[in-house]
């Protein structure tokens, strides 16, 4: 980006009720269009039309289709965290619980491959312009840490749980891409759950 180009920013969390409602409609429209037709189906104009707002209004919330798709990815990540908090993962150990959540999410990915392909394509394209603190690195996979800690931690230290979350979140991103390109969900889940149990074995806290 040159000096004359404004740096895109993620829509801030504190919005007026009206702007927040518009943002929700835009994100919902983005998810619908990407689910139906993938990356190429999403433009600021098509999203605005689906959300029933004007194009100038849409541009007040997002500077490009890539930002809209990254916003959608952030929204779905937030929903994953909320889902862990609202619906207790099954399993007595951290590895069992994260395996349960991996299963929930991976099956959703398999049902909507075009959506997830579009969101990650946009993330790769737009990530250099993301503000500090926004992204999908290991330390930001809040739902993974929440799942690991959603019950008895089996004596594993906070440090070991954090280390496991870092590794698992990195592996999970690659696993999602694999599923969107047609790799069997069960094969990918075997890798994820096997890794989780090796990182956090029962009866052997670090």
Contacts of 68 (CB under 8 A, 6+ apart): 26, 27, 30, 42, 44, 47, 62, 122
Mean pLDDT of 185-206: 88
* Statement: residue 135 has pLDDT above 80: no
Q: CATH classification of 65-199 is 3.30.930.10, yes or no?
A: no
Model confidence over 86-129: pLDDT tens digits? 888 888 999 999 999 999 889 989 999 999 999 989 988 876 66
2 vs 198: which has the higher pLDDT:
198
pLDDT of residue 11: 52
Q: 33-67: buried (b, 16+ CB within 10 Å) or exposed (e) per residue?
A: bbbeebbebbebebbbebbebeeeebeebbbbbbb
Mean pLDDT of 42-57: 96
| Least confident interval from 2-11, 86-95, 145-154, 161-170 | 2-11
pTM for this structure? 0.79
pLDDT, averaged across the chain: 84
If pLDDT is split at 50, 70 and 90, which confidence band does 161 have? very high
Mean pLDDT of 139-155: 83
């Amino acid at each position: 980006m040159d000096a004359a180009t404004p740096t895109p920013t993620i829509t801030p969390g504190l919005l007026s009720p009206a702007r927040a409602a518009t943002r929700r409609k835009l994100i919902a429209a983005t998810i619908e269009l990407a689910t139906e037709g993938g990356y190429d189906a999403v433009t600021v104009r098509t999203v605005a039309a689906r959300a029933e707002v004007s194009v100038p209004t849409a541009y007040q919330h997002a500077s490009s289709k890539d930002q809209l798709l990254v916003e959608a990815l952030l929204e779905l990540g937030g929903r994953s965290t909320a889902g862990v908090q609202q619906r207790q993962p099954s399993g007595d150990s951290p590895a069992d619980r994260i395996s349960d959540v991996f299963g929930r999410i991976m099956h959703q990915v398999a049902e909507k491959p075009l959506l997830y392909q579009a969101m990650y394509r946009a993330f790769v394209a737009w990530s250099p312009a993301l503000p500090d603190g926004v992204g999908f690195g290991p330390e930001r996979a809040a739902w993974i840490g929440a799942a690991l800690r959603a019950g008895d931690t089996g004596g594993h230290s906070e440090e070991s749980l954090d280390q496991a979350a870092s590794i698992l979140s990195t592996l999970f991103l690659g696993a999602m891409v694999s599923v969107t390109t047609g790799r069997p969900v069960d094969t990918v889940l075997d890798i994820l759950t096997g890794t989780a149990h090796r990182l956090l074995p029962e009866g052997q806290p670090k």
